[in-house]
Amino acid sequence: MRAVIVAAVVAFLVTIALTPFAIRVFAALKAGQPIREIGPQTHMSKKGTPTMGGVVFILATVIAYIAGHFVLAALPEREIVVDGQVYVAPLGTPSGMTATGVVLLGLFVGLGALGFIDDYLKVRKRNSAGLAPRYKLLGQVVLGAGLGAVALWVPAKTVELETVADSTVSFVRDLYWLDITKYGTLVFFIFVVMSMSNAVNFTDGLDGLATGASVMVLGAYALIAFWQYRHWDLDPSYGGRYTYEVRDPLEIAIIAAAAAAACFGFLWWNASPAKIFMGDTGALGLGGLIAGLAFATRTVLLLPLLAVLFTLIAVTWAIQIGSFKLWHRRVFRMVPLQHHFELAGWSEVNIVVRFWIIAGIGVASALGLFYADFLRVMELGL
C-alpha cells in the first residue's frame, strides 16, 4: 500500500510542478495546437494553445514508478518455497522491473512516442494532418505485437509463475472455457491496443474531457489491481499464489495509481480554459496503457463498460464513417460525438461534465460487477 501511495503522490506533484514549465517551453517553441477549419468554430479560439502535454504525465508516471520501487526495496523480504525452489521478494512482489512493468510502461511510453511524432509533424506543418493514418496504425500494430509477445511468452522468475496474459479470454477473471490460443490472443491484444488508443484520441477534443475520464478509468484499475494483490490463496500447496490468477498485481496497482494521479495533476492545467493539451502524445499513450491494464488484470471484456465513454465515442465514430461510406448519409452532425453536441448548442463545459458523469457510471458499474464476482466466489468457496 505504501508503494502505491508514494507513487501516486510523486506522480501528482511532478505533474503539477512540471506542467507550467512545459507550457512555457512549448509556447516558446511555438508548439501550438493546429485547429481543423471544418470543426466547430468555437474551437478557433484554442488555436496556438501548447500541445504535447502528454510528455509531462508520461514522464511523471515513469518517475513515480521508480519511486514506488524504491519503497518496495526498503520493505522487508520474505522467502517463499515453490516446488522446492526458494524465491525471495519484498512482500510477495518481485524487486526490480517485471515483464508486467515492461508491457504497461512500454505501451504508455511507446505509443506516447508515436503520438509525439504525430504532434511534432502537426506543429511543423502548421496543420492538423500530422502523421499519415497508415503509419500511425502500423506503429500501433508493431508496438502491440512486440509487447503482446512479451505479455504472452515471457514467464515470471518469481513466485507468480504466470505470464502477464494467457490464451483465455477474460471478463472479471479468466474464462477458461473460452480459449483462443496464444496466437489468437496476440491478435486480440493488438486489436484492443489499437481500438483503445484511438478511442482516447477521439475523446480528446474538449478541455479536460479525456483527461478526467482517464483519471476515473485508471483509478478503477488501481483499485482492481490492489484488490487482487490483497487476496491471496492461503493454501500452502499453491505456494502462496494470488486468489486471482494475475501476475504482479502490486506492480499493476503502482503503475495505474501513478498514471491516474499524473492525469489528475495535469487536469489542473487542462481544465477549461485549457492552458495546454495532451495531444496525441498523451491520448495514444493513455489508450495503450488502459488496454494493457485490461489484459494484465485479466478483465478484458469488462473494459468496454469500465471505459464506456471511450467505447461510446469510438463506436459512434465507426457508425458515422460506415454510414457515410455505405449510404452517403450522416447519423450525427459531426464526429467525434462531443462535436455533435457542440453543434446542437451545448456549451463545452456542459458536454464535459455530462460525459464525465457517463464515464463515472461506467466505472461504477464495472467495479460493481468485479466485486459481485468476488462475493460469488467467496460464497461458493471456489
What are the pLDDT tens digits along the chain (382 aa)?
A: 888 999 999 999 999 999 999 999 988 888 776 666 555 656 566 777 888 999 999 999 999 999 998 888 777 655 555 555 555 554 545 567 788 999 999 999 999 999 999 999 988 877 667 788 899 999 999 999 999 999 999 875 544 457 888 899 999 988 988 999 999 999 999 999 999 999 999 999 899 999 999 999 999 999 999 999 887 654 444 444 557 888 888 899 999 999 999 999 999 999 988 999 999 999 999 999 999 999 999 999 999 999 999 999 999 999 999 998 888 889 988 889 999 999 888 999 999 999 999 999 999 999 999 999 988 877 765 5
- Tell me the pairing of strands 168-170 and 174-179: antiparallel
The span from the CA of 120 to the CA of 280, in Å, is 10
* Set of cell numbers at residue 18: 512540471
- pLDDT number for residue 154: 84
- pLDDT number for residue 371: 94
* Set of cell numbers at residue 212: 478526467
| Alpha-carbon distance values, 134 to 18, 100, 189 (Å) | 33, 29, 19
Residue 93's nearest CA partner among 235, 198, 248 is 248
107, 78 Cβ separation under 8 angstroms: no
| 273 prior amide bond cis, ω within 30 | yes
Residue 106's nearest CA partner among 289, 351, 340, 269 is 289
- pLDDT number for residue 157: 53
Phi, psi of 32 (to 5 degrees): -90, 155
- pLDDT number for residue 160: 45
The span from the CA of 317 to the CA of 379, in Å, is 42
The span from the CA of 257 to the CA of 259, in Å, is 6
* Set of cell numbers at residue 307: 471505459
The span from the CA of 97 to the CA of 101, in Å, is 6
The span from the CA of 69 to the CA of 46, in Å, is 39
* Amino acid letter, 32: G
Q: Which residue(s) pair with 168 in the sheet? A: 179
The span from the CA of 41 to the CA of 176, in Å, is 51
The span from the CA of 146 to the CA of 148, in Å, is 5
Q: At what angle do helices 249-270 and 54-74 cross, to 10 degrees?
A: 140
| Alpha-carbon distance values, 348 to 211, 268, 282, 357 (Å) | 15, 17, 21, 14
Which residues are CB-contacts of 76 (< 8 A; sequence separation ≥ 6)?
90, 91
* Set of cell numbers at residue 223: 483499485
The model carries a pTM of 0.91
Q: Which residue(s) pair with 77 in the sheet? A: 90
DSSP of 106-161: HHHHHHHHHHHHHHHHHHHHTSS--S-HHHHHHHHHHHHHHHHHHHHH---SSTT-
Which residues are CB-contacts of 268 (< 8 A; sequence separation ≥ 6)?
16, 19
CB neighbour burial string for 316-341, b if at least 16 within 10 angstroms, e if fewer: bbeebeeeeeeeeeeebebbbbbbbb
CB count within 10 Å of CB 368 equals 11
| Alpha-carbon distance values, 30 to 33, 49, 114, 116, 164 (Å) | 9, 9, 20, 15, 41
The span from the CA of 224 to the CA of 256, in Å, is 10
